[in-house]
Amino acid sequence: MAAGGPDGVLLVDKPAGITSTRALAMAKRAVGSLKAGHTGTLDPFATGLLPLVFGEATKFSRFLLDADKSYVATLRLGATSSTGDTEGEIEQRHPVTCSLPEIEAVSREMIGVSMQIPPMHSAVRVQGRRLYDLARQGLEVAREPRSIRIDFIEIVSFSGEQLVMSVKCSKGTYVRTLAETIGEKLGCGAYLTGLRRTGTGGFHVEEAATPEALAEMGPEAARARLLPVEVLVRSLPRADLAEPEAWAVRNGQTLAARVPWSGDELALFGPAGEFIGVGRIAEGRLAAARLMATGHSG
């Protein structure tokens, strides 16, 4: 274990009522680590899967930041909220007259690539300032629409004014905004009353532990839950290097790309199967893009 703590990925089940930063601080104490980060925050009212990266894993966090996300969202139909969720003020109320087939039809309209404007109550920066800081001052500024992708929406349940749905979407998708759009198309309005992230990057919330559970099990047991760093790059093609090749890459040299290697980026492994880092192929040569520190392996 490195001086600043262990290396690896920890799957945390964030409870409602705390920020992702608070959950990270609790996990760092539980594991006994100084160097750690998250791979995409959850709003305080949201719960569920929060993968955290420790030590050398922080170098490869972008692979989870860029990964698709899965959620179970609970919507309150027949009303709108100033923030799109339970944190805001209820603004309008409307009768709910839509049927399940109508909800399913609207949901199908959401599937695919579209443009979405980030909500004011979000962490997006505009001219160096977080939107939620501006919103707290009562300010509203123009936001650039962003391209998002909805892969599927499945209706889990619908009863009265409550709609529960399962969503798989691209990174950067605001489910609050999706809920508001669905409510608008149904003509009754909607806002989120619950949001649970169930999966991202091939990880599932069932594999995660709450911060409280991590604290109770003690540092040794908490560290034992760390997944190796290379799980972050398992979507990349793998390149196994012989000892001279591994030495060359670690020392800034490039290698001639060979037939089994494909794609722009590769997960690099040494002769003993140890994870070395990520390489890129350009003009027929393989060069290191991001490497594990010497002496570290997944």
Residues acting as catalytic residues:
43
For residue 97 the two structure tokens come to 């007259």
CB 53 within 8 A of CB 222: no
Minimal CA–CA distance to 42: which of 81, 14, 10? Answer: 14
* Residue position matching structure tokens 């969503």: 167
- Cα torsion 68, 64, 23, 123 to 10°: value is -70
User: How far is the C-alpha of 180 from the C-alpha of 135, rounded, in Å?
Assistant: 18
Q: Which of the 8 DSSP states describes residue 34?
A: S
Bridge partner residues of 227 (DSSP): 9
For residue 20 the two structure tokens come to 């992702």
CB 236 within 8 A of CB 266: yes
Q: In this structure, is the dihedral angle defined by the CA atoms of residues 5, 41, 43 and 107, taken in order, positive or negative?
A: negative
Tell me the H-state helices in the chain.
Answer: 20-31, 62-65, 100-110, 131-136, 175-186, 211-217, 219-224, 243-250
Bridge partner residues of 38 (DSSP): 52
Number of alpha carbons in the 13 Å side-chain half-sphere of residue 29: 10
How many angstroms separate the Cα of 176 from the Cα of each of 76, 173, 185, 222, 298?
11, 9, 14, 33, 36
